[in-house]
Amino acid sequence: MNTHPNLLSVENSVLIVVDLQSRLSSAMPEPDGELMTVNAGKLVEAAGLLNIPVLVTEQYPKGLGPTDASVVERLPETAQVFEKTGFSCCAAKGFDQALQDSQRKQVILVGQETHVCVLQTALELLHEGYQVHVVMDAVCSRKTEHKHYALQRVQQQGATITNYESVLFEWLRNSAHPDFKRLSGFLR
């Protein structure tokens, strides 16, 4: 049976963690900021278990600090981290090449801020021919309406707006998957 091309697959996915840095997260409204970090962490850990590449960006880490420790501790050893000062992840030196080297076309975006770095990354990746999935409960902006309109904008341009549970279930595809029991714990 042919599957719908918009369903995520383990073999074609790459997870991108956009600027999920503690200092920036502290400016996010609660509970949205905490939800973003928790759900992004679950996806990072699941990606590691399923051998899905993880790319991480850090916006001006000298000023905004490193990636949140709760996410770092879940990163697979193969994760690559890129520093940047440009807002799009594509502005980070080596990022585009790492994404190309993954040979995957389904990009899952988590992180902050939705209306700046996530939005600019999504638009540039769409332009480059990637299938972009923005995880609405794993992204955040300082103002809720900024997140709302950014999600609306990227959806109008062809991105898929999804949630972390849908991503996990699409990666697993079947309750008979050998990692289903372990990953089902992330769904609580």
Amino acid letter, residue 150: A
Count of structural domains within the chain: 1
Q: Are strands 80-84 and 131-140 parallel, antiparallel or unpaired?
A: unpaired
Residues marked active site are found at 19, 84, 117
With respect to residue 44, please indicate whether it lies within any of the assigned structural domains. yes
Q: Rounded to an integer, what distance in angstroms lies between the CA atom of residue 71 and that of residue 52?
A: 16
Q: Rounded to an integer, what distance in angstroms lies between the CA atom of residue 113 and that of residue 131?
A: 20
With respect to residue 77, please indicate whether it lies within any of the assigned structural domains. yes
DSSP 8-state secondary structure symbol assigned to residue 188: -
The rounded radius of gyration (Å) of the Cα atoms in the chain is 15
pLDDT tens for the 188 residues of the chain, in order = 578 999 999 999 999 999 999 888 888 888 999 999 999 999 999 999 999 999 999 999 999 999 999 999 999 999 999 999 999 999 999 999 999 999 999 999 999 999 999 999 999 999 999 999 999 999 999 999 999 999 999 999 999 999 999 999 999 999 999 999 888 888 87
Provide the whole-model pTM: 0.96
Which residue range is the domain that position 128 belongs to?
13-157+168-183
